[in-house]
Amino acid sequence: MIILILLLPLLLIVGLWVYGFIQANDFSVPTKSFGDFKPNNILVIFPHPDDEAQSLSGTITQFVKNKAVVNWIVLTRGERGTSDAHVEENIGQIRTKESENVAKVLNINAPVFGDFPDSGMVDHKDELSTYLKQQISKYKPDLIITYDESGGYGHPDHIIVSQVVTSLLKTDFPDVHLWYTSTPEKLFKQLSLPTQMAKDQEYLKSRKSPSFKVWVGMSGIMSKIQAVYAYKSQFDSFVKGVPIKQIPLWFYVSLTPYEYFYEVK
């Protein structure tokens, strides 16, 4: 009886994890192994520090384990990463440093930062296209990973980066493969995303459901947890996204040993 009482909390935690794992993952989405595509040179392109943390950091870990080269472009400093999205240069400096620390966790080169304005990239589309064309030509990737054209939750910076990258690959780099980060529909509906940042409420029409998932395993989960917790300046915003705030964030991250993508044909 005493043993059962002692085991009860553990059983509850295990049961909660299994339930959360089932709710967070879509097992109808096919799984691809790294042997299915074997990219050698990957370029990750996102607008802000931390965009990669929960969606891609586990996969980056697996790329590195498979001897692939991973480069990472962050197009802004994230200077609007404040509670009310006002500009604070100090926050930009902090987030820049946090991304550099995450690169060390993931064992990749430090991110290359563009100097585009946080939440103002739509006004610099031509400059953005020129800059990204130069960067793609420089790194010569065989695979690029970024947001889909919904921007995940309608963020204008996310959308414009996706649109520019997608257009460039169609017109100038047709041999480069393109993946969008994605989220299973049932998990997407459970998250509290900052959709108030969307300027166009039609963004969901551009949302891409995942076409495959990647198993990142325990090492990927541990890297993802370290990456998420490295962004101390954004930790409160991460917590706002989860259903039950009292459950530790690392527990939620542990529910996602799969990461999801849409492969653009």
- Per-residue model confidence (pLDDT) at position 4: 66
- Per-residue model confidence (pLDDT) at position 113: 97
Q: What are the residue boundaries of the structural domains of the chain, listed by start? A: 32-264
Residue 25 CA to residue 127 CA, distance in Å, equals 38
CATH C-level class of 32-264: alpha beta
The shares of helix, strand and coil residues in the chain, as percent rounded to the nearest 5, are 50, 15, 35
Residue 68 DSSP SS3: coil
Q: How far is CA 230 from CA 102, 115, 122, 129, 172, in A?
A: 7, 22, 28, 30, 36
Write out the two tokens for 90.
Answer: 């100090």
- Per-residue model confidence (pLDDT) at position 1: 66
Show Cβ contacts of residue 85 under 8 Å, excluding neighbours closer than 6 positions.
Answer: 119, 197
Segment (H or E) for 261:
strand 258-264
- Per-residue model confidence (pLDDT) at position 61: 95
| CB atoms closer than 10 angstroms to residue 192 | 12
Widest Cα–Cα separation across the chain: 70
What is the mean pLDDT of each successive set of 10 residues along the chain, which is 265 residues long?
Answer: 73 90 96 86 97 96 94 96 79 96 97 96 97 98 97 96 98 97 93 88 93 96 97 94 93 97 95
- Per-residue model confidence (pLDDT) at position 14: 86
Residue 96 CA to residue 106 CA, distance in Å, equals 15
